[in-house]
Chain A
Amino acid sequence: MRATWAILRKELRVYFVSPLAYVFLAVFLFLAGVFFYLGITLTGEASLRVMLGNLSISLLFVLPMLTMRHFAEEQRSGTFELLMTAPVHPWAMIIGKWLASLVLCTLMLAGTLVFTGVLAYYGDPDWGTVATSYLALFLCSAAFCAAGLFASSLTRDQVAAGLAGIIILLPFWLIGQAASLTDHPGLASVLEKAAFLTHLRSFTRGVIDTADIVYFVGFIFVFLFLTYRTLESRRWR
């Protein structure tokens, strides 16, 4: 706990003393603005559906860039040795770093509340759907960060880690489409179940399904666990 907290604060400090956090916030909010404008003008609905849907795919590309430095940079600069020779369990490290990127995600998402405000001023949005959509985006972010963290543990090269993160995540986005291309009903249903979009759908309709929550929590756990295994195995090489 103590170490997790220390690492979480350290990571946030590193984000905010460098231009990194500001660049991410700016890029993300710019994208959100564009999607919001397009969503409103194209559909004429007082809803955030278009914006939130597009933001989730944007996050798939943005978040691996946010998490790529976590372990790659520690290994490149030798600070990994500092962490591993301190009385800190690898899990404390992983959770601390994951939470730090999640805090930044939350700030990014919080920034988009401006658009919700605009919507509330000029229209009458369905607040339940807005809330579940935000929950979906948050779960998505948490899952992407976990996968990004795992990618970062694989290499000491940040750029490679960032790309690896995207490459890991992209199939989970695309297999939803792949499901409609196959004739095999069993395979189609498996692909369908493994895809992100399937599990985001009910959230965007204002429904919270336990199965979807389990999917995201499971996804996060698997990738954090893989990170743990990778860090452990690094010591043996």
Chain B
Amino acid sequence: MIEARGITKRYGPFLAVEDVSFTAGKGSVLGFIGPNGAGKTTTMRILTGYLPATAGDAVVAGFDVFQQPMEVKRRVGYLPEAPPLYQELTVGDYLAFVAELREVPARGRFRRIGEVMELVGLTGWERRILGSLSKGYRQRVGLAQALVHDPPVLILDEPTSGLDPAQNVGIRELIGAIGSDRTVILSTHILAEVEATCDQVVVIDRGRIAAAGTLDEVRTRATGGLRYRVELRGQDLARAVGGLPEVRQVVPSDGTDGFELLEVFSDQDPRTAIAALAARSGWTVRSIERIQPSLEDAFLAIVGREDVVTGSTS
């Protein structure tokens, strides 16, 4: 469980994060999305107890981050943006060190390290020197480090940055699997990743929450309600459809094959009403479909800037 209430962080005159509040329950994966420099990392650092907040408070795993930071630190697994590795150590030595710091009991510590290494796909890599690993493997070690003490809360800052597509899929599956009985927060600016792994989204822009909710809610709200596309053949279509109580607005456009294409905006599903109207009026219906707004569209609508990376790592 993570609950943030009005978190504000100021660096001198610069307001990095302002009044950020959200809740993530057990078993949910919450995605933080936003352009670079929006305040995602700062918010996460505050939640891990690394940075103090200027105002606001946060409860993580049942403890107040600012009153009982040690208790929170015991229960949080954290993967910073760059995996915090000691280049000189081997994978095995490094994980043993972190496990000891993280209070994994000496009895069963090595079994636990073995389990975690298997989970992230590092089995057989314990003698490798961290400095010689590729980016993908460094990321895996970072993830193993965050999981070694079996924390109920996981905070992952851009867990898939720098991975190739196959590794990306692997990490996403892993996050899905470990997220089922934990609370996971992850940040990214890759929207496909949010679609694939998260059930809740917080869009953060210039330090403020611009939108929050389930994926569907954010998509719908950002793009101005539900949208449908209707292809009909008949008389006086736009006016008649626009007269339905479920419909807010109709934008007609040219269709093909003698059909007229209408874009219908609405707050509640008008599809059956349109079908019934068509039947009463003797129209021919070719299609009535919901337009699923993409998260990209939603994101751009929320953030309102074109300079945002939407498909690839920057």
Using CB atoms and an 8 Å cutoff, list the residues of chain A in contact with chain B: 2-3, 6-7, 9-10, 13-14, 17-18, 77-89, 235-237
Using CB atoms and an 8 Å cutoff, list the residues of chain B in contact with chain A: 11, 45, 48-52, 70, 73-74, 76, 78, 80-89, 93, 97-98, 100-103, 145
Other-chain contact of B93, A13, A81, A236, A237 (Cβ < 8 Å): A13
- Indicate if the CB atoms of B89 and A14 lie closer than 8 Å: yes
Sample of 11 further A-B pairs with CB below 8 A, known A85-B76, A87-B74: A77-B85, A78-B81, A79-B85, A81-B50, A82-B80, A85-B50, A86-B102, A87-B101, A87-B102, A88-B101, A235-B51
Q: Which of B84, B101, B103 has the most CB of A within 10 A?
A: B101
Can you name 13 A-B pairs with beta carbons within 8 Å? A3-B100, A13-B88, A17-B89, A18-B88, A78-B84, A81-B84, A82-B78, A82-B145, A85-B50, A86-B98, A235-B50, A235-B52, A237-B11
B51 cross-chain contacts in A, Cβ below 8 A:
235
Q: Which residue of A lies closest to B74 (CB)?
A: A87
Task: Give the 6 A-B residue pairs with the shortest CB-CB distance, closest first.
Answer: A82-B84, A6-B100, A79-B84, A87-B73, A86-B101, A85-B48
A77 cross-chain contacts in B, Cβ below 8 A:
82, 84-87
- Indicate if the CB atoms of A78 and B103 lie closer than 8 Å: no
Chain A min CB distance to B162 (Å):
14
CA of A88 to CA of B103, assembled, Å = 10
Other-chain contact of B86, A2, A6, A14, A89 (Cβ < 8 Å): A14
A79 cross-chain contacts in B, Cβ below 8 A:
84-86
- Indicate if the CB atoms of B101 and A6 lie closer than 8 Å: yes
A10 cross-chain contacts in B, Cβ below 8 A:
86, 89, 97
CA of A89 to CA of B98, assembled, Å = 15
A13 cross-chain contacts in B, Cβ below 8 A:
88-89, 93
CA of A88 to CA of B88, assembled, Å = 22
* CB within 8 Å for A83 and B101 given contacts A13-B93, A78-B80, A235-B50: yes
